[in-house]
A and B are shown apart, each in its own frame.
Chain A
Amino acid sequence: MARTLIKGNEAIGEAAIRAGCKLFFGYPITPQTEILEYMSRRLPQVGGTFVQAESELAASNMLYGAAGAGERVMTASSSPGISLMMEAVSYLAGAELPAVIVNVMRAGPGLGGILPGQADYLQATKGGGHGDYRCLVLAPWSVQEAVDLMRDAFDLADYYRNPVLVLCDGVMGQIMEPVEFADERSPCRPLGAKDWATTGWQGDRPRAVINSLYLDPDRLQAHNRHLQAKYDRMTRDEIRCAGPDPAEPLDLLVVAYGASARVSATALEVLKTRGVAAALCRSISLFPFPSAAVARAAARAKAVLVVEMSAGQMLEDVRLAVGERRPIHFLGRQGGILVMPEDVVDAAERILAAPAVREGAGG
Chain B
Amino acid sequence: MAEIAAFAKPASLEATPTHYCPGCSHGVIHRLLAELLDELGIRRRTVTVLPVGCSVLGYDYFSTDCQEASHGRAPAVATGVKRARPDLFVLCYQGDGDLASIGAGEIVHCANRGEKVTVVFVNNATYGMTGGQMAPTTLPDQETTTCPGGRDVDQAGYPIRVAELLSTLRTPAFIARGAAHTPRHAIHAKALLRRAFRCQMEGRCFSLVELLSICPTNWGLPPAEAGRWLERQMIPYYPLGVLKTPDGPDRAPLPLATLPEAAPGSAR
**Interface, chain A (partner B; CB < 8 A):** 22-23, 25, 49, 51, 53-55, 57-59, 61-71, 73, 87-88, 91, 95, 198-203, 207-213
Contacts and interface: CB of A to CB of B under 8 A. Distances in A.
Given A55-B105, A63-B80, 18 more contacts: A62-B80, A64-B69, A66-B84, A67-B80, A68-B67, A69-B47, A69-B80, A69-B81, A71-B84, A73-B84, A88-B70, A198-B47, A198-B67, A199-B65, A200-B88, A201-B43, A201-B44, A209-B67
Contacts of B49: 65
A66 B81 contact: yes
Interface centre among B66, B73, B84, by most A CB within 10 Å?
B84
Interface in B59-101: 59, 63-70, 73, 76-85, 88
A68 B59 CA distance: 14
Contact of B84 (A70, A203, A209): A70
Nearest to A203: B44
A66 B77 CA distance: 7
Contacts of A88: 70, 73
A212 B68 contact: yes
Contacts of B43: 201
A210 to B, nearest CB: 4
Contacts of A54: 105-106, 108-109
A61 B77 contact: yes
B77 to A, nearest CB: 4
Nearest to B68: A211
Contacts of B69: 61, 64-65
B133 interface: no
B18 to A, nearest CB: 15
Contact of B68 (A55, A200, A209): A209
Interface in B91-125: 105-106, 108-109, 113
A283 to B, nearest CB: 31
B45 interface: yes
A146 to B, nearest CB: 25
B125 to A, nearest CB: 25
Contacts of B80: 23, 25, 61-69, 73
Contacts, number: 133
B85 A69 contact: yes
Interface residues of B, number: 34
Nearest to B108: A54
A200 B46 contact: yes
A290 to B, nearest CB: 33
Contacts of B56: 213
Given A54-B105, A70-B84, A198 B66 contact: yes
Contacts of B78: 65
B105 A211 contact: no
Given A95-B68, A200-B47, A212-B68, A65 B79 contact: yes
9 contacts: A25-B80, A57-B73, A61-B80, A65-B77, A68-B80, A71-B84, A200-B85, A207-B63, A209-B59
A66 B63 CA distance: 20
Contact of B67 (A53, A59, A203, A211): A211
Given A202-B44, A208-B65, A211-B59, A91 B81 contact: no
Q: Which 9 A-B pairs have the closest CB atoms?
A: A65-B80, A198-B65, A65-B77, A61-B76, A66-B80, A62-B80, A61-B73, A66-B84, A54-B109
Interface centre among A22, A64, A87, A212, by most B CB within 10 Å?
A64
A34 B71 CA distance: 30
Interface centre among B45, B80, B82, B113, by most A CB within 10 Å?
B80
B63 to A, nearest CB: 7
Given A58-B109, A199-B88, A64 B77 contact: yes
B258 to A, nearest CB: 35
A199 to B, nearest CB: 7
A223 B82 CA distance: 28
Contacts of A200: 44-47, 64-65, 85, 88
Contacts of A59: 76
Contacts of A211: 59, 66-68
Contact of A51 (B66, B70, B83, B106): B83
A58 B59 CA distance: 22
Contacts of B84: 22-23, 49, 65-66, 69-71, 73
A95 B45 CA distance: 21
B66 A62 contact: no
A213 B68 contact: yes
B109 to A, nearest CB: 4
Contact of B66 (A66, A87, A199, A209): A209
A91 B78 CA distance: 15
A61 B66 contact: no
B119 to A, nearest CB: 14
